[in-house]
Amino acid sequence: MAATTTGVYHGTYRADLALRHTKTEYVRLLLALAVVVALPFFASPYWLTVLNQIGIAVIGAIGLNILVGYTGQISLGQGGFLAVGAYTAGVVAVKTGASPLLGLLAAVVATAAVGAFFGLPALRLKGLYLAIATLASQQIIIWVITHWEWVTGGVDALVLDPVTLFGWTITGDRQWYWVIAGFAGLATIVGTNLFRTGVGRAFVAIRDQDVAAEVIGVDPARYKLLAFAVSSGFVGLAGALTAYWTQILTWERFTLDVSILYLAMIIVGGLGSISGAVYGAAFIIALPAYLQQVSLRFQGDSFFVRNLPALQLLIFGATIILFLLFEPKGMARIWQRMKDYFRLWPFRY
């Protein structure tokens, strides 16, 4: 009788560095790709909008997870950074009429720069203190957007024309799905590979023990700022896509609530995990959308119907609390356990 392997073991460094170790993983990847390709053909217009919002949230959540989950620098400035990306892309499109690709690039670079600037307090502060410092960045960015009128249009909405790329005008949620899904896929690949490089490992070292990291030759100041810049670059991309997709920007889209929601995504999905960011973004966006869909079935006048909005909030909140109680390491960990269970079956461990 052949021996059953009890785990995945690597005999070479090359194998250790590989992204995928087993055939099953390739099959799963193909299945996931098939689902992503098939989804827009089955989704209703409502779910297409939700899917596009999920795609954008995936990019933003990966960015935030690089900073919070991998580097251990907490940030409440996510909404503000999204706004920087969105308004940079919006202003480039409206004022210069340049190619959207240039707008995306400008958004990524500008947000990375702003992110690195607001990351400066991280050189002195940690934990809750840093959270409050980044909270200030959120407020400052929104204040600048609403008061810097000749650039951002102030409190009035910034309206963009439909995006035209190589003669193709992207219209409708279905066409946008392919664009957003493409960028989300790209962000996932870049995010995953980042942690196979020295830079990514330096981030993790700082998270695990910053003094020890410095001892082994990681410059904390440089890598902390780099983490803020890289993370904000992703977030800027998400913001720019929001601008091009919705074609209208107001500051009310980028409030503190958004920052909190993104933190919820990576906590529910799994801190320090790229796939966790994907699951979390999908879950946090889709759950209220699903509850909304359910409650649309009930109309009329009853106690239940009158209190539906409150019930939706209640279920949403309760789900997150239950998640944290039963699986504080998030959905990525649940998925890992499920895989282990089947791989080792019929043995328990």
Partner 1 sequence: MKLRTGIAAVVLALALTAGAQARDQGADAIKIGGIFALTGPTSDVGVPYSEGVKAYVTHINSRGGVKGRKIDFISQDYGYNVARGEQLYSQLKGSGVIAIQGWGTADTEALRTRVNADRIPYMSASYAATLINPSETPYNFFVSPSYSTQMKIALRFIAEQSGGRQTDVAVFHHDSPFGQSPLEDGKGYVQSKKLKLGYETYTMPAGATDYTGLLTQAQRQGARWIIIQNVSTPAALLARDIARLGLNMKIVCLNWCGDEIFVGLAGRAAAGHYTVQPWGTTGLKVPGLKAPSAWLAARGNSLGKASVHFTQGWYTMAVMLKGVERVLASGKPVDGPNLKAALESMPKFSTGGVTPDVKFTAQTHEGLHSSRIFQVIRGRFRQVKGYRIP
Q: Can you give the binding site for partner 1, defined by CB under 8 A?
A: 44-46, 48-50, 53, 146, 154-157, 159, 173, 246-248, 250, 252-253, 257, 285, 288-301, 308-310, 312-313, 315, 322, 326
User: For residues 17 and 325, which CB has a smaller minimum distance to partner 1 in the complex?
Assistant: 325
CB atoms within 10 A of CB 307: 11
Cα(133)–Cα(149) distance, rounded to whole angstroms?
Answer: 25
Shortest reach from residue 45's CB to partner 1, in Å: 4
Cα(209)–Cα(84) distance, rounded to whole angstroms?
Answer: 31
Q: What are the φ and ψ backbone dihedral angles of 259, each rounded to 5 degrees?
A: -60, -45
Of 85, 98, 185, 80, the C-alpha closest to 139 is 80
User: For residues 12 and 44, which CB has a smaller minimum distance to partner 1 in the complex?
Assistant: 44
With beta carbons less than 8 A apart as the criterion, state whether 316 and 291 touch.
Answer: yes
User: For residues 131 and 289, which CB has a smaller minimum distance to partner 1 in the complex?
Assistant: 289
Distance between start and end Cα atoms, the chain: 20
Shortest reach from residue 85's CB to partner 1, in Å: 16
Question: Can you give the three-state secondary structure of 264-310, one letter per residue?
Answer: HHHHHHCCCCHHHHHHHHHHHHHHHHHHHHHHHCCCCCCHHHHCHHH
Shortest reach from residue 219's CB to partner 1, in Å: 39
User: For residues 52 and 137, which CB has a smaller minimum distance to partner 1 in the complex?
Assistant: 52
Shortest reach from residue 14's CB to partner 1, in Å: 41
User: For residues 205 and 291, which CB has a smaller minimum distance to partner 1 in the complex?
Assistant: 291
Shortest reach from residue 298's CB to partner 1, in Å: 6
